[in-house]
Amino acid sequence: MEPNFQALRKEFPVLGRKTYLNSGSYCALANDVKAAFEAYMEDRLMVGANWDAWIAKNESVRSLTATLLHAVPDEIAVTASVSAGLNSLASALNFSGRRNKVVVSDFEFPTNAQIWHAQEPRGARIVHVPCAADGYIPLENFAKAIDEQTQLVAITHVCFRNGAKLDIPGIVRLARAKGAKVLLDCYQAVGSIDIDVKTLDVDFAAGGMLKYLLGTAGIGFLYVRDSFIQSLVPTNSGWFAQADIAAMDITANRPAPNARRFEAGTPAVVNCYAAEAGLKFLLAVGTPAIEKRNYALTRRCMQRLEEIGWPSITPTQDERRGATVAVPSRDCGKLSAELMKRDIVTSHRDGNVRASFHFYNDEDDAESFIAAMKDLRGSFSPR
Ligand SMILES: Cc1ncc(COP(=O)(O)O)c(C=O)c1O
């Protein structure tokens, strides 16, 4: 049975005040997540330091993330950010041999290119896969870049700038054929579409809790395929990455046998409370239903943009799109500010206003956005 999306809207008080189309930047706050923050405060007031319960929260985030990705908890590191997870992973890779190439796409969020460029002094060669004239990156461009010297293909699932979704199964096939591993930066996808890391057959996946996962900033995850964990020893480490956290052994580095070896220091306790509540909420709604709704909402929004003569640059095919509709503007910063004056919350990147949809949005939200855009077209559409 389809979730009652209209009833679920009531769980996000901001929706009563704003047309909230900003989940690709930061989600709307759910009552449950607010209550989780308050529960942490209560814990601090009533118990002081409740470490056993706090560690259990961190483990709960690990196991809910595993459920979400169709992985097992031992394959999940709970990290402070995507960047922290990628740095830890990079530190475990060796670029001194012939297989020293990292292939990234021109759709990457800066962190997923900068961190690989930061490995250049260690021998890594970074190759960028360019967009075609239509603004998409076709498989043939990846085929030209991925070869026997490629160690890692590090790609975004959905592009933060234009909402385009890459052909991950196709890219994984190309990587496999040349013996390369695949890292998926799924931050702009996870929670908005259904993701099964086993079906996608990626080796690593990174994301965080503040966007479509309904949580907060300062907490993320790194998925590492079980069969690689033992052979990867991060040099970015810390006491929470050790096999026995309580050992307090200062004579050696003894990494955990599971993906916890990609963690570092004390978990962000309050963020664990929020992330746990967000993940529980999202899993109860169900990602297949969320995906279906997000495709319907973005499709509708794009059709209406066409009708008002201000088309988006996001691909129209469902299989090439995430939950963001990107609309080009001659001044996207000012346009986003004008929309905000009308209580429509969007974000902007790289010449585009981004309207990001989630299950708590509805067709009226899309219509409010369209009405405002129609009004503002004369001043802000591309010349
Ligand atoms: C696709 C993508 N990757 C990575 C990041 C950065 O993640 P973090 O700040 O957790 O390192 C973002 C942030 O917006 C993102 O959209």
Going from N- to C-terminal start, the domains of the chain cover 5-21+286-377, 34-283
Pocket test for ligand 1, best of 188, 193, 211 (most atoms within 8 A of CB): 188
Distance CA 213, CA 283 (A): 9
Kindly state the average pLDDT of the residues 308-328. 97
Distance 145 CA to ligand 1 centre (A): 24
pLDDT at residue 1 above 90? no
Tokens of 321: 């799109």
Distance CA 192, CA 318 (A): 13
Distance CA 364, CA 6 (A): 11
Distance CA 217, CA 211 (A): 9
Distance CA 210, CA 24 (A): 9
Distance CA 57, CA 119 (A): 34
pLDDT at residue 265 above 90? yes
Looking up tokens 């509540």, which residue turns up? Answer: 277
Distance 111 CA to ligand 1 centre (A): 7
What confidence score (pLDDT) does residue 366 get? 98
Distance 153 CA to ligand 1 centre (A): 17
Q: Is 26 in the pocket of ligand 1 (CB under 6 A)?
A: no
Q: How far is CA 36 from the centre of its chain?
A: 22
What CATH number belongs to 5-21+286-377?
3.90.1150.10
Pocket test for ligand 1, best of 78, 79, 86, 111 (most atoms within 8 A of CB): 111
Looking at every residue in the chain, the average pLDDT score rounds to 97
Contact 327, 339 (CB under 8 A): no
pLDDT at residue 383 above 90? no
DSSP secondary structure of 258-291: SGGGG--SS--HHHHHHHHHHHHHHHHH-HHHHH
Tokens of 290: 């969320």
Q: Is 324 in the pocket of ligand 1 (CB under 6 A)?
A: no
What confidence score (pLDDT) does residue 34 get? 98
Tokens of 306: 């066409």
Distance CA 145, CA 114 (A): 18
pLDDT at residue 275 above 90? yes
Pocket test for ligand 1, best of 187, 193, 350 (most atoms within 8 A of CB): 187
Distance 174 CA to ligand 1 centre (A): 25
Distance CA 111, CA 123 (A): 19
Kindly state the average pLDDT of the residues 212-241. 98
Tokens of 241: 């990455």
Pocket test for ligand 1, best of 82, 86, 165 (most atoms within 8 A of CB): 82
Closest CA to 278 of 191, 346, 195: 191
pLDDT at residue 256 above 90? yes
In tens, the pLDDT along 85-122 reads 999 999 999 999 999 999 999 999 999 999 999 999 99
Q: Is 208 in the pocket of ligand 1 (CB under 6 A)?
A: yes
What confidence score (pLDDT) does residue 158 get? 98
In tens, the pLDDT along 322-350 reads 999 999 999 999 999 999 999 999 999 98
In tens, the pLDDT along 146-177 reads 999 999 999 999 999 999 999 999 999 999 99
| CATH among 3.40.640.10, 3.30.465.10, 3.40.190.10, 3.30.830.10 for 34-283 | 3.40.640.10
Q: Is 82 in the pocket of ligand 1 (CB under 6 A)?
A: yes
DSSP secondary structure of 105-119: ETT--THHHHHHHTT
Which atom of ligand 1 sits closest to the CA of residue 86?
Answer: 11
pLDDT at residue 237 above 90? yes
Residues forming beta bridges with residue 164, ordered by sequence position: 321
Q: Is 185 in the pocket of ligand 1 (CB under 6 A)?
A: yes
Classify 153 as helix, strand or coil.
strand
What confidence score (pLDDT) does residue 85 get? 98
Closest CA to 84 of 236, 201, 226: 236
Pocket test for ligand 1, best of 83, 109, 204, 354 (most atoms within 8 A of CB): 109
Closest CA to 79 of 238, 248, 286: 238
* Phi–psi pair at 90, nearest 5 degrees: -60, -40
Q: Is 83 in the pocket of ligand 1 (CB under 6 A)?
A: yes
Which atom of ligand 1 sits closest to the CA of residue 158?
Answer: 1
Sign of CA dihedral 366, 293, 165, 262: positive
Distance 192 CA to ligand 1 centre (A): 15
What confidence score (pLDDT) does residue 128 get? 98
pTM value?
Answer: 0.97
Distance CA 78, CA 220 (A): 6
Q: Is 109 in the pocket of ligand 1 (CB under 6 A)?
A: yes
Kindly state the average pLDDT of the residues 202-208. 98
Distance CA 224, CA 332 (A): 37
Distance CA 81, CA 86 (A): 9
